[in-house]
Chain A
Amino acid sequence: MRFTIFQDSRQGDRSGNEDRVGYSFSKEVLLMVVADGMGGHDQGEVAAEIAVNEITRQFQQEARNRLRRPQDFLVTAINAAHRAIVSHAVANNLLECPRTTCVACIVQAGVAWWAHAGDSRLYVLRAGQLAAATQDHSRVQQMIDAGTLTPETAATHPDRNKIYSCLGGVVPPIVAVGGDWTLEQGDTIVLSSDGFWSQIPASLIAGLLRKQDIVGLLPGLITEAHRRAAGESDNLSLVAMTWEAQDDPRHADTQTLEDEQFTTSSNTMELDRPIPHEDVTDEEIERAIAEIQDAIKRVPR
């Protein structure tokens, strides 16, 4: 598989970051996931953290070579994450179970599948157009479907943050699935939390992607989303992947990975833990950087 991947998660104007993002891939399968821990509930970031960790863990267990049924896997993994969050609440005597939204995507054999619960979104962008998207599990989306609200007015509706499916809730999440999407070169899949998608329309991303790749475009676009929120920005997170020409040697090829080897990146604490190494440890690197920083501060300039 050859693809370009990008992810970032920023705090926005909130006091903490309750969003978690992650991706993991082996030779043949890619997982991307975004979870948006819900404000107003205790420990939203804990729920998001457990969701990303649990789904990634399941992925690495199941996808050693390839997933037999990617869509079933997604539903199972999201439900397992829900149960893990509930168990965490029970084990820690939490008065209220922490909650999170979740959107996850699998790419395998040139085909993408996705699943979500809540209002974190997935877009498929092709040739400058929005080609597919998830439908939010939100009150305003229900009203739009019923024809009582237009997408424009939904953006400012007082109930725009109310969702009816999430992980960690009293009832198990409603998991919507989509995909079986055969990727073509240049197709871009974007998963994002509402902090990002509420400010940047899909059509804008799609249009800009005709001129720039995700790595060049998205960092600036996140900054723009933050700016547009005018000091009230929610956490901003996204994971995006562009499917590259499969024979283009300029893009790294997952075939160089060993069997059963995963490359994983996430902003969760657990998955972030660096691999220890005997000759130069991470502690040594951190210490060296601290020393240099210290010297820079000490020596008068």
Chain B
Amino acid sequence: MPSQVNQPLPGGYVLNGYRIDKPLSSGGFSIVYLARDESGTPFAIKEYLPSSLALRSEGTEVRIEDEANLSTFRHGLKCFFEEGRALALISHPNVVRVENFFRANETVYMVMQYVRGRTLQFHIQRNRAEFTETFIRRIFIHLMNGLREVHANKLLHLDIKPANVYIAMDGRPVLLDFGAARITLSDEPMKLKPMYTAGFAAPEQYRFQPGELGPWSDIYSVGASMYTCIAGTPPQAADARLEKDRLIPLRTLARQSYSDELYSIVEACLKLDHLERPQTAFELQKLLMVEPQDAGRRRFLDTLNKPISKFFSR
């Protein structure tokens, strides 16, 4: 396999009527660019470009070096379509919206709404004090609305983590990057290894047996994300936990006080046995909406419909 790095499209490059501004991020399967259409509206454009396969070290066209890779490239392309197809069917304020989908430069592009804001990851690193119980519950209750919609469309996200949750300027959480969703689609071994992020991926994702994957796999990742909001650091990786479970109990890591109920919810989501977790996003959402026992100091349900933006005064 050549060790070349895929070159992003240059700034100023005009792609199907969108002018590329700059690359925003690049992952194992794609590069995401900030781009603008003729009216100046910003979009996030995702370019399918698996770094292990496709090669673009000159010009703008993606070149595949050998026939076997071409087949794998095209298979991955199919998965990219599945992602686009599923997302196109979802119109929900808590799920990133797909605006356009087209073919160019020998690959395909997905144009998504550009969400102004920061990732949950950014907020965790900067604003630890803001992560009150009320705030965490509210973010995840809203996020479960989006995840329910995803699951209702027979799609698993499989890479939920704070870096893939955007907090829009109005405080609304938006679920992004369905790039890992591909592994639900095929059980054959292939070059496109599933992507998972240590600490957030469910144990069954490491075993890579698609039959075991389900909404509960995303629930594990949601649990790990909530854990990170509270502890400031992700839980021990699931594959290591399967060897020897050294998950540090949340209450010993928490920097501010949270209810026992919240700790229990997070721990339930992080159960290694998937049958012991909340099985659906709706179930988890209901758990999060139950007022904790000593409710005197946190009447979060009262504030549920208020904008979250005030939590980010900066």
Nearest CB in chain B: distance from A31 CB, A? 16
When the two chains form the complex, which single residue of B75, B77, B85, B98 contacts A291, counting CB atoms closer than 8 Å? B85
Contact A4 B59 (CB under 8 A): yes
Q: B10 in the interface, Cβ–Cβ < 8 Å?
A: yes
Contact A252 B55 (CB under 8 A): yes
The residues of B that contact A285 with a CB separation of less than 8 Å are 74, 77, 81, 103, 108
Per the 8 Å Cβ criterion, residues 75-110 of B in contact with A are 75, 77-78, 81, 84-85, 88-91, 97-103, 108
Contact B88 A295 (CB under 8 A): yes
Q: B71 in the interface, Cβ–Cβ < 8 Å?
A: yes
The residues of A that contact B63 with a CB separation of less than 8 Å are 252, 263
When the two chains form the complex, which single residue of B84, B89, B102, B108 contacts A299, counting CB atoms closer than 8 Å? B89
Interface of A is mostly: mixed
Contact A295 B74 (CB under 8 A): no
Q: B4 in the interface, Cβ–Cβ < 8 Å?
A: yes
Interface string of B42-66 (1 = CB under 8 A from A): 0000000000000101111101010
The residues of B that contact A68 with a CB separation of less than 8 Å are none
Nearest CB in chain B: distance from A250 CB, A? 6
Q: A147 in the interface, Cβ–Cβ < 8 Å?
A: no
Q: A170 in the interface, Cβ–Cβ < 8 Å?
A: no
When the two chains form the complex, which single residue of B4, B12, B85 contacts A216, counting CB atoms closer than 8 Å? B12
Given contacts A6-B60, A215-B13, contact A280 B4 (CB under 8 A): no
Q: What CA separation (Å) do A219 and B15 show in the bound complex? A: 10
Q: How many residues of B contact A (CB 8 A)?
A: 36
Per the 8 Å Cβ criterion, residues 1-29 of B in contact with A are 2, 4, 10-14
Q: What CA separation (Å) do A2 and B58 show in the bound complex? A: 9
Contact A215 B89 (CB under 8 A): no
The residues of A that contact B198 with a CB separation of less than 8 Å are none
Q: B301 in the interface, Cβ–Cβ < 8 Å?
A: no
Contact B91 A299 (CB under 8 A): yes
Q: B152 in the interface, Cβ–Cβ < 8 Å?
A: no
Contact B58 A252 (CB under 8 A): yes
Q: A231 in the interface, Cβ–Cβ < 8 Å?
A: no
A residues sitting closer than 8 Å to B (CB atoms) are 2-6, 213, 215-216, 219-220, 223, 244, 249-252, 256, 263, 265, 277, 279-280, 284-286, 288-289, 291-293, 295-296, 299-301
List 15 additional contacts besides A4-B59, A279-B71, A296-B101; criterion CB under 8 Å: A215-B60, A216-B10, A223-B14, A250-B4, A250-B57, A252-B4, A265-B61, A277-B71, A289-B108, A291-B85, A292-B84, A292-B85, A295-B88, A299-B89, A301-B91
B residues sitting closer than 8 Å to A (CB atoms) are 2, 4, 10-14, 55, 57-61, 63, 65, 70-71, 74-75, 77-78, 81, 84-85, 88-91, 97-103, 108
